[in-house]
């Protein structure tokens, strides 16, 4: 298998075969993100992908999930993506699911019918970075989209029957918009009703625009308890039919997880308890936090 640069995948793809079909992220402009800064976006050729799949076939009996990397592989035009997905499906008889990252733009480039076609071939989950439900923050971090479009993209994925997993970013509104960001994000999750939502906490990575903003004093990272307040407000504002919400990513100070609405009260109670105690030993230590 050939991999170019650092490879990123969602935590739930830890046991998946990672197949790098695109290099980098087609957007690559978010101020907080350093993931693909060193990569110029391009699609790998079908021949290269095929060689990797052929190599991985020797492990076919173990491969149940494949994750198509990098940044937003869904941007691959349907005519090129279908043969890749077919190649994967035919190579691994025990395959249960193919997953990939999408963004608002790449999802909206596909019709519901095209997404259904991908689902028929094994694409079972799309990961979408929502980050915030606050348009002001979305603009500030240069996400390059508007909430109405993201809601439309989310609906398209859901209408296709593919699982929609989204990430949101605690702290990305800074101290200034902390409360607004938290409330708006909870409400936005209510609006789009994803199947899974994962909360990450902002970590300022050197070399990013966000790091410059911190240096200039135009962005202030909320402290751990403010991030927990955000988590609380966010969950409080989610009115979900059936959503698995988790903050167990390594960037967070407090892992909580559970099904909403069933476990909402228990999750809020757990966060409230830590907020009341204000005992630093109840938080993940700084040295163990990572993106
Ligand atoms: S956050 Fe996602 S869309 Fe934004 S630059 Fe990073 S990989 Fe690309």
pLDDT greater at residue 290 or residue 271: 271
Tokens representing 115 are 């997404």
| Distance from Cα 241 to the centre of ligand 1, integer Å | 28
Whether 4 is covered by a domain: the verdict is no
Residue of 126, 128, 125, 194 whose CA lies nearest to 167: 128
Axis-axis angle for helices 224-236, 264-277 (nearest 10): 160
Q: Say whether pLDDT at 63 is over 90.
A: yes
Whether 3 is covered by a domain: the verdict is no
Q: Say whether pLDDT at 55 is over 90.
A: yes
Q: Whose CA is nearest to atom 4 of ligand 1?
A: 30
Whether 6 is covered by a domain: the verdict is no
Mean pLDDT of the 104-117 span? 98
**Mind listing the pLDDT tens digit for each residue in 166-193?**
999 999 999 999 999 999 999 999 999 9
Q: Closest ligand 1 atom to the C-alpha of 27?
A: 8
| Distance from Cα 25 to the centre of ligand 1, integer Å | 6
pLDDT of residue 37: 85
State what percent of residues in the chain have pLDDT above 90. Answer: 93
| Distance from Cα 270 to the centre of ligand 1, integer Å | 31
**Mind listing the pLDDT tens digit for each residue in 129-159?**
999 999 999 999 999 999 999 999 999 999 9
Residue of 169, 133, 150, 225 whose CA lies nearest to 32: 169
**Mind listing the pLDDT tens digit for each residue in 211-265?**
999 999 999 999 999 999 999 999 999 999 999 999 999 999 999 999 999 999 9
What is the spatial distance between Cα 225 and Cα 165, in angstroms, rounded to a whole number?
A: 26
**Cβ of 25 below 6 Å from ligand 1:** yes
pLDDT of residue 4: 92
**Cβ of 31 below 6 Å from ligand 1:** no
State what percent of residues in the chain have pLDDT above 70. Answer: 100
Structural domain count, the chain: 1
Whether 5 is covered by a domain: the verdict is no
Domain of 104, CATH number, reads 3.20.20.70
CA distances from 118 to 76, 113, 122, 256 (A): 12, 9, 6, 32
Whether 102 is covered by a domain: the verdict is yes
Q: Say whether pLDDT at 23 is over 90.
A: yes
Q: Closest ligand 1 atom to the C-alpha of 71?
A: 7
Average pLDDT, the chain: 96
| Distance from Cα 82 to the centre of ligand 1, integer Å | 24
What is the spatial distance between Cα 275 and Cα 263, in angstroms, rounded to a whole number?
A: 19
pLDDT greater at residue 12 or residue 188: 188
Q: Say whether pLDDT at 72 is over 90.
A: no
pLDDT of residue 107: 98
Q: For residue 159, what are the domain limits?
A: 11-288
**Cβ of 129 below 6 Å from ligand 1:** yes
Lowest mean pLDDT among 26-30, 65-69, 188-192: 26-30
Whether 2 is covered by a domain: the verdict is no
pLDDT of residue 1: 87
């Amino acid at each position: 298998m050939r991999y170019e640069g650092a490879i990123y995948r969602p935590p739930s793809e830890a046991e998946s075969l990672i197949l790098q079909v695109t290099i980098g992220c087609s957007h690559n402009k978010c101020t907080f993100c350093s993931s693909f800064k060193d990569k110029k976006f391009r699609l790998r050729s079908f021949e290269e992908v095929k060689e990797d799949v052929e190599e991985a076939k020797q492990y076919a009996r173990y491969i149940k999930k494949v994750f198509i990397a990098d940044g937003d592989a869904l941007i691959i035009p349907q005519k090129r993506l279908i043969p890749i997905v077919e190649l994967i499906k035919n190579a691994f008889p025990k395959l249960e699911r193919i997953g990939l990252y999408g963004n608002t733009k790449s999802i909206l480039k596909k019709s519901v019918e095209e997404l259904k076609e991908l689902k028929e071939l094994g694409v079972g989950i799309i990961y979408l970075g929502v980050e915030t439900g606050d348009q002001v923050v979305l603009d500030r971090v240069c996400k390059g989209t508007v909430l109405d479009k993201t809601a439309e993209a989310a609906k398209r994925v859901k209408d296709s029957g593919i699982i929609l997993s989204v990430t949101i970013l605690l702290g990305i509104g800074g101290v200034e918009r902390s409360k607004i960001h938290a409330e708006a994000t909870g409400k936005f999750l209510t609006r789009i009703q994803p199947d899974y939502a994962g909360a990450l906490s902002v970590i300022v990575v050197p070399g990013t625009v966000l790091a410059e903003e911190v240096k200039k004093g135009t962005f202030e990272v909320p402290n751990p308890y403010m991030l927990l307040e955000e988590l609380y407000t966010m969950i409080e504002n989610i009115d979900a039919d059936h959503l698995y919400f988790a903050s167990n990513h390594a960037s967070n100070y407090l892992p909580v997880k559970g099904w909403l609405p069933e476990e909402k009260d228990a999750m809020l109670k757990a966060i409230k308890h830590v907020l009341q105690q204000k005992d630093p030993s109840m938080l993940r230590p700084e040295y163990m936090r990572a993106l």
